[in-house]
Amino acid sequence: MIILGLDPSLSCTGWGVIRAEGARISHIANGQVPTDARAPMAVRLATLHAALSEVIAAYHPDRAAAEEVFLNKNPQSTLKLAQARGAVLATCGMAGVAVNEHAARLVKKAVVGTGGAEKQQVQAMLKVLLPGATIAGADAADALAVAIADAHLGKV
């Protein structure tokens, strides 16, 4: 099974593709989709849609996974995250790819063993779980963690 992990963000959305065969996982690809902060919102969302459409077309995931939405203290940031998530989830829906959503603490627990793990701990565990994989950046690492968690927790 091929799983597309997603870390939606308006500034830089991370994505990671893994293969899960029983308890075994392997790295296929990962990357990040930055958007231009000076561009209009519609253009930024279209950038996310176009880039993720290409990822889906290239890797043909059986399903996708994303972290559940969380609330920021800043309502404007929450709204921007929600818009980016909407574009990402709609892209999957348009491609016929079902999306599982997992709480951030559950993702950390599935990858590291504790829901309170720091980002550095998650990234260190990715090196163990996906040896030899070159990770494009922090957002791609988060997306790979979501994909790995979904391989263990997935519902679809």
pLDDT at 156 over 60: no
As a whole number of angstroms, the distance between CA 5 and CA 59 comes to 12
Percent of the chain topping pLDDT 70 = 96
**SS3 per-residue string spanning 108-134:** HHHHHCCCCCCHHHHHHHHHHHCCCCC
Q: What pLDDT score was predicted for residue 115? A: 85
The 10s digit of each residue's pLDDT in 13-50 is 999 999 999 889 999 999 999 999 999 999 999 999 99
Task: Mark whether 139 is an active-site residue.
Answer: yes
Neighbours of 58 (CB within 10 A): 11
Helix ranges (H only) for 19-112 are 41-59, 75-94, 104-112
Q: How many CB atoms lie within 10 A of CB 106?
A: 16
**Annotated binding site for Mg(2+), which residues?**
7, 67, 139
Catalytic one of 118, 139, 142, 150: 139
Domain total in the chain: 1
Q: Which range of residues forms the domain containing residue 8?
A: 2-153
Q: In the predicted model, what is the mean pLDDT of residues 86-91?
A: 97
Q: What's the CA gap between 105 and 115, in Å, rounded? A: 4
Closest CA to 11 of 144, 147, 138, 145: 138
pLDDT digit string, tens, across residues 126-146? 999 999 999 999 999 999 999
Q: Which of 67, 101, 142, 150 is labelled catalytic?
A: 67
Report how far residue 14's alpha carbon sits from residue 30's, in angstroms, rounded to the nearest whole number. Answer: 8
Confidence of residue 70 (pLDDT cuts 50, 70, 90): low
What does the pLDDT look like over 101-123, one tens digit per residue? 998 899 999 999 888 888 889 99
For residue 89, pLDDT beyond 70: yes
What pTM, to 2 d.p., does this model score?
A: 0.93
Q: What is the CATH number of the domain that holds 142?
A: 3.30.420.10
